Structure 1
Amino acid sequence: MPDGDSQPQPFVPHTDPTVIDDLRARLRATRWPDESDGFGWSLGTDVGYLRELVDYWADEFDWSAAESDIAKLPHFLVPLGGLSIHAIHVTSRSTEPAVPLLLTHGWPDSFWRYLKVIPLLTDPAAHGADPADAFDVVVPDLPGFGYSQIPSGAPLDTRAVAGRWAELMSAFGYDRFVAAGGDMGSHVSRFLALDHPDRVTAVHRMDAGLPRFAGDPAELTPAERAWMADAQRWGAVEGAYAAMQSTKPQTAAVGLTDSPAGLAAWIVEKLRAWSDCDGDVERAFTKDEILTLVTQYWVTGTIGSSMRTYSANAVLPVEQYARRVEVPSGFSIFGGDVVRPPREWLDRVANTVYVAEPERGGHFAPFEQPELYADELRKFFRPFRS
Structure 2
Amino acid sequence: MTGEPFTYHVPDAALADLRERLARTRLPDQAPEAPWTYGTDVAYLADLVAYWRDRFDWRAEEAKLNAFPQTMVRVGEIDIHCLHVPGRGPSPRPLLLCHGWPGSVFEFLDLIPRLTDPARFGGKPEDAFTVVAPSLPGYGLSFRPGQPRLGVEEIADHFAELMTRLGYDRFMAQGGDWGAFITTRLAWRHPERVEGLHLNMLPVRRDLSGRDASPEEAAHYERVSAWLKEETGYQWIQGTKPQTLAFALTDSPAGLAAWIAEKFRSWSDCGDTIESAIPRDRMLANISLYWFTGAIGSSFHPYYSRMHRPWPIPDGETVRVPTAYAAFPKEMVRPPRSLAERTMFSDLRRWTEMPRGGHFAALEQPDLLAEDVRAFAGTLPR
Q: Does TM, scored on the shorter chain, surpass 0.5?
A: yes
2:103 is aligned with 1:112: no
Please list, as runs of the form range in 1=range in 2, the aligned pairs for 1:321-360 lying within 5 A after superposition. Answer: 321-322=314-315, 323-348=317-342, 349-350=344-345, 351-360=347-356
Determine the structure 1 residue equivalent to 2:120: 126
Q: CA deviation at 1:148?
A: 0.3
Q: Deviations over 1:185-231 (max 9, x none)?
A: 000010111010111011011121363346x8242222112212211
Determine the structure 2 residue equivalent to 1:199: 193
CA contact (8 A) 1:209 1:339 kept: no
Q: Deviations over 1:294-316 (max 9, x none)?
A: 10110000111101221012222
For the residues of structure 2 that align with 1:213 and 1:239, how far apart are their CA atoms? 15
Q: CA deviation at 1:66?
A: 1.2
Q: CA deviation at 1:232?
A: 1.3
Letter in 2 for 1:225: A
For the residues of structure 2 that align with 1:357 and 1:121, how far apart are their CA atoms? 20
| Counterpart among 9, 23, 34 of residue 4 in structure 2 | 9
Determine the structure 1 residue equivalent to 2:361: 365
Letter in 2 for 1:104: C
| Counterpart among 290, 293, 305 of residue 297 in structure 1 | 290
Determine the structure 1 residue equivalent to 2:161: 167
3-state SS, counterpart of residue 219 of structure 1: coil
Determine the structure 2 residue equivalent to 1:21: 16
For the residues of structure 2 that align with 1:308 and 1:191, how far apart are their CA atoms? 17
CA contact (8 A) 1:155 1:312 kept: no
Letter in 2 for 1:365: A
Q: What is the TM-score normalised by the length of structure 2? A: 0.96
Determine the structure 2 residue equivalent to 1:32: 27
Determine the structure 2 residue equivalent to 1:269: 262
Determine the structure 1 residue equivalent to 2:51: 56
For the residues of structure 1 that align with 2:76 and 2:148, how far apart are their CA atoms? 13
Q: Deviations over 1:59-94 (max 9, x none)?
A: 111111210121111011100011100000001112
For the residues of structure 2 that align with 1:22 and 1:306, how far apart are their CA atoms? 22
Letter in 2 for 1:297: Y
Determine the structure 1 residue equivalent to 2:310: 317
Q: CA deviation at 1:353?
A: 0.8
CA contact (8 A) 1:144 1:151 kept: no
| Counterpart among 33, 36, 41 of residue 41 in structure 1 | 36
3-state SS, counterpart of residue 140 of structure 2: coil
Q: Deviations over 1:263-294 (max 9, x none)?
A: 00000000010000012111012221111111
3-state SS, counterpart of residue 227 of structure 2: helix
CA contact (8 A) 1:102 1:178 kept: yes
CA contact (8 A) 1:150 1:305 kept: no
| Counterpart among 300, 323, 347 of residue 307 in structure 1 | 300
CA contact (8 A) 2:269 2:277 kept: yes
Q: CA deviation at 1:339?
A: 0.8
| Counterpart among 253, 259, 272 of residue 246 in structure 2 | 253
CA contact (8 A) 1:175 1:199 kept: yes
Q: Deviations over 1:332-354 (max 9, x none)?
A: 11011111110101212102111
For the residues of structure 1 that align with 2:213 and 2:349, how far apart are their CA atoms? 20
Determine the structure 1 residue equivalent to 2:237: 244
For the residues of structure 2 that align with 1:180 and 1:151, how far apart are their CA atoms? 28
Q: What is the TM-score normalised by the length of structure 1? A: 0.95
For the residues of structure 2 that align with 1:128 and 1:62, how far apart are their CA atoms? 31
Determine the structure 1 residue equivalent to 2:91: 97
For the residues of structure 2 that align with 1:359 and 1:197, how far apart are their CA atoms? 31
Q: CA deviation at 1:154?
A: 5.0
Q: CA deviation at 1:43?
A: 0.4
For the residues of structure 1 that align with 2:58 and 2:206, how far apart are their CA atoms? 40
Determine the structure 2 residue equivalent to 1:141: 135
CA contact (8 A) 1:99 1:385 kept: no
Letter in 1 for 2:362: P
CA contact (8 A) 1:275 1:363 kept: yes
For the residues of structure 2 that align with 1:290 and 1:317, how far apart are their CA atoms? 33
Q: CA deviation at 1:150?
A: 4.0
CA contact (8 A) 2:151 2:301 kept: no
Determine the structure 1 residue equivalent to 2:219: 226
Letter in 2 for 1:195: R
For the residues of structure 1 that align with 2:195 and 2:17, how far apart are their CA atoms? 47
Q: CA deviation at 1:15?
A: 0.4
For structure 2, list consecutive stretches of 5 or more residues without a partner in the other structure: none
For the residues of structure 1 that align with 2:286 and 2:204, how far apart are their CA atoms? 25
CA contact (8 A) 1:143 1:151 kept: no
For structure 1, which segment, 284-293 or 257-266, has the greater mean C-alpha deviation from structure 2 after superposition?
284-293
**Aligned residues between the structures:** 379
CA contact (8 A) 2:204 2:340 kept: no
